[in-house]
Amino acid sequence: METPRYSLAGRIALITGASSGLGAHFARLYASAGAAVVIGARRVDRLSGLVAEIEASGGRALAVALDVTDEASIIAAFDAAEAQLGTPDVVVANAGIVEAGRSVELPADAMRRVVDTNFNGVYLTAREGARRMIAAGSKESEKGRIILTGSITAQMTAQGDSAYAATKLAVQHLGRQFAREWARLGINVNVIQPGYIRTEIDGEWFDTDGGKAQIAGWPRKRLTEIEALDDMMLFFASDASRQVTGTFISVDDGQSL
């Protein structure tokens, strides 16, 4: 990985959904930029290898069990972070799931799982992060950074992802609501909306005939590279974004055009 353009030295970042995909990538990215990273996920067994990898590269990392649908689990994860590394001043609410299916066929319990993880989980994670930052003096330091992982589906219509897309549009507006509420408390809240990237959550789809047809329909006929998110994720977490809050930006290689 190239040397990051933005330093996160001295910062502590907590990242949810870090057992694979975007979350694991963000953990590596932030550690390489100098942050101590707290990586949280339900699948704790998957985190030990990532911790070892980061530490072998000279970084600091802590794995915590974290189920974003359970407020007690979120609080416990922040408690563990504070006890071992300090109060996180960067929080990435990244955990999310997909339940594919046409709206007339999607079971109600599947819809609830999507809302509970993709919206409620983001809300609870960001809220707990803000509470800790405020208690630690974010109003004076102005170093609080909260980043919500959205999706370009917030601006698109498609077949089979109505519940997922709706939660991502809700996340987009939630970011602005939080940004307004915490603006005078030294906390910046921004939303990154990735395009379609090959990750564990939907990677197999793009090997199917339907997935290949979807790619062929995009202007550049390709998936977004995960590294395309790096500069924006670092910017949002760093001191450089001191006067940037309440924004959302799509990084999708033109897929949503």
Bridge partners of 145, per DSSP, are 90, 188
| Residues 12, 87: Cα–Cα separation, whole Å | 7
| Residues 193, 72: Cα–Cα separation, whole Å | 28
Question: For 193, what's the count of Cα atoms within 13 Å in the CB-facing half-sphere?
Answer: 24
- Residues serving a catalytic function are 164
In eight-state DSSP terms, residue 35 is: -
| 131: Cα separation from own chain's centroid | 18
- Cα maximum dimension of the chain: 54
